[in-house]
């Protein structure tokens, strides 16, 4: 996964976690996908930008997951997931990926 930008990994984790939970109807399985991608992204953030950046972006990842739920009540589930995934991807790109 060394060549995959962390922004892509994080966004894929948020979208993929929701998609997995929705299509399998097994929320814990979606959580596994979400957590696995989050762990891979966090490792990349730490390696590329250090502990502080990794901690902030990991917090943003978790906050995006949590924030997607109330946002979904206002704009719908898929739009909310795409919105928060885009926000985390942008933050990751700005803080880490554009440095290459």
Q: What is the pLDDT of residues 24-78, one digit of tens each?
A: 999 999 999 999 999 999 999 999 999 999 999 999 999 999 999 999 999 999 9
Asked if residues 67 and 91 have their Cβ atoms less than 8 Å apart, the reply is no
DSSP letter at 34 equals H
Sign of the dihedral defined by the CA atoms of residues 43, 91, 85, 12, in that order: negative
- Both structure tokens of 66: 């949590």
Give the separation between CA 41 and CA 15, rounded to whole angstroms. 14
pLDDT band at 80 (very low <50, low <70, confident <90, very high): very high
């Amino acid at each position: 996964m060394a060549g995959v930008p962390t922004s892509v990994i994080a966004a894929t984790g948020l979208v993929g976690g929701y998609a997995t939970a929705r299509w399998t109807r097994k929320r814990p399985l979606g959580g596994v996908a979400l957590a696995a991608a989050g762990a891979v992204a966090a490792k990349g953030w730490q390696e590329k930008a250090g502990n502080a950046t990794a901690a902030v972006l990991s917090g943003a990842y978790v906050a995006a997951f949590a924030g997607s739920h109330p946002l979904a009540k206002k704009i719908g589930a898929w739009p909310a997931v795409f919105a928060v995934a885009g926000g985390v991807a942008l933050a990751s790109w700005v803080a880490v990926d554009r440095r290459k």
